Structure formats: structure tokens, C-alpha cells
Amino acid sequence: MIIHTCAKVNLTLEMLRRRPDGYHDLMTVFQAIDLCDRIHLEPADELALTVSGADIPADASNLCWRAAALLAERAGRRPEVALRVEKRIPVGAGLGGGSGNAAGVLGALARLWQLDLGDEELVALGAELGSDVAFFLRGGAALGSGRGEVLEPLPAWSGRAIVVLAPREAVSTGRVYGALRQFRPAAGAASRLLADGLRSGNVPAPEQWLVNDLEAPAAEVSAAVRDDAERLAVLGLSAYRLSGSGGAWFHLADEADSAAVVGRLQAIWPGRAIWVTRPVTYGWCEVSEE
Ligand code: C5P
């Protein structure tokens, strides 16, 4: 079986408060995009994992490995699968690539092993693996709260291309949260405004909701994010933000403008990866053999 697992951007990301367990309560509108990793799953004698396209460990610390091991344990069976992961989504980017991989492995193995698991059980397993994993089980667009694992599906955002600028260096999510000190008095207002707009089909202009409360702490812990922010500010782009905890950025472009935006970004950062992506209505999908 071969699957594609998506990346996401946070169209809004608002911090509510620090919790006693060390996590943060937040409100966010997730949107899955068609920048994808590819994972091959094949029956095997024991759990095995290889990764290409990114310099990340292919051992028991990898979220794909942990997803397969956790599902097998809960299903009371051996994790007899070989996973081959081809990374295209940059890591340490705030694009949720690892979380999407974990969700795809959970969903695909539940199918392959013919497990009788409900959505809720899978979401609970996903939340054990990471705050964003639950989102990718369903994908599309969703209003996220709690630490990101409490989800309300939304109609996917439509009408625009999402230009994604790759990070210059990987950024640690834990360090960014560690530098967070400011919380909004009316946290959730931007996310609710966008969620209402998506539900009614009448989305207000991005200036009214395009926020990311992790942008300032990310700039504090990463010199690359700080430098990017300074250079992007003078470009005069209309609607861009850091994605999640960074270091990737995204820009909401009109379809007709996306090529011009890419050109302007390439002029500043020749050779840096840039993708013109589209919103999608899923988080992972099965693809046919090639
Ligand atoms: O859940 P996940 O493993 O993806 O989170 C990575 C780190 O980000 C956590 O260890 C925590 O420091 C921080 N985090 C947080 N509040 C959230 C999500 C993540 O503090 N809602």
C-alpha cells in the first residue's frame, strides 16, 4: 500500500494560556495542503523503517515507528510492517509533516490490519503521539482547540493558492513554546471569525484573521526566522505568516498572483525551495502503485 500524507498551515494560531501539564491551550484553524510525503507500507516479519529525503532518525523515536508500534500494541498484535518514508515536506518547519506521517500510518495500518476502530479511538491514539496528529486523520480544514487535538471540521478554504517558503533551518517547537510569554485577552476571536466565514462561505479579508502568536517567540529563538521576518516585511506582501512554530512561511496569493509572489521570493533567496500549494479536503490518502 502507498499513501500520501499532507502538510498543513495554521491560517490562525492563537495562544490562550499555559497549562499545568506544560502544554498550551490554543485556538487554531488548520488547513491541509497538497504538499505531501509518500509512505510505502508492506507486510514484513517485524517493524522496519527507512527514510529518504530528510536527515531524521529512522528508529523507534520516529513518529511513523511510534504510530505503528502503538497501534499494534492496542490491537494486541505484532507490528509486522515495513515502512518506507519519502520526505518532501521539510522538517522543523511548522508544516506538521511528522504528524501527518503518523496519522497516515495509523489510518493505513488500521485498514491493512482490518481493525475495527472508530474515529474517536484513532483520534485518541493520534493525540498520544502529538498535538497535531489528530487533525491529519481527517485533514481538510478544522477549528482546533485544547492543545490542538479537539477538532471541529470546517469546509476547506477555497479560492487561493498557498505559497510555501521552505525554512532556512529547522526550528524546535518546544523551544518556541518555551519563549512564549504573551497571551491574548480575547484569544480565539480571529479563529472564530475565520471559522464562521468558512461555514457561511463568506470569508472576511485575511487582514482580519491571519495571526500567529508563535511568530514573535520563533523569531526570538531562531536567527533565521528573525532575518526572514525582516526581509519579508519590506517586500510589502499582502497576506503572509509563519507556519505554526516555523521556520516555513506561507503566503495566501490570488491564483493569478502566485507566480509573481514566487518570483519576488526567489529574487531574495535564490535556490530556496518554494511550493505553490492548494488546500485539500483530506489529511492523507491512498494512491495507486506506480
Ligand atoms: O505535541 P507535540 O509533541 O507536537 O508538541 C511538541 C512540543 O510543543 C511540546 O513538548 C510542548 O513543549 C509544545 N506544545 C505546547 N502546547 C501545545 C502544543 C505543543 O506547549 N498546544
133-168 tens-digit pLDDT:
999 999 999 999 999 999 999 999 887 899 999 999
Task: Write out the catalytic residue numbers.
Answer: 8, 132
Question: How does the average pLDDT of the chain come out, rounded?
Answer: 96
Residue nearest to atom 2 of ligand 1 (CA): 130
Atom of ligand 1 nearest to the CA of 178: 12
Q: Choose the residue to mutate in 131, 147, 151, 213 for probing ligand 1, maximizing ligand atoms within 8 Å of C-beta.
A: 131
- On the question of pLDDT at 1 being above 80, the answer is yes
Distances (CA, A) of 205 to 43, 120, 156, 194, 252: 48, 34, 16, 9, 11
Distance 63 CA to ligand 1 centre (A): 14
By most ligand atoms within 8 Å of CB, the mutation choice from 177, 221, 243 for ligand 1 is 177
Which ligand 1 atom is nearest residue 132's CA?
4
Q: Find the farthest-apart pair of alpha carbons in the chain and give their distance in angstroms, rounded.
A: 56
DSSP H/E element including 9: strand 2-18
pLDDT of residue 290: 64
DSSP label of 212: B
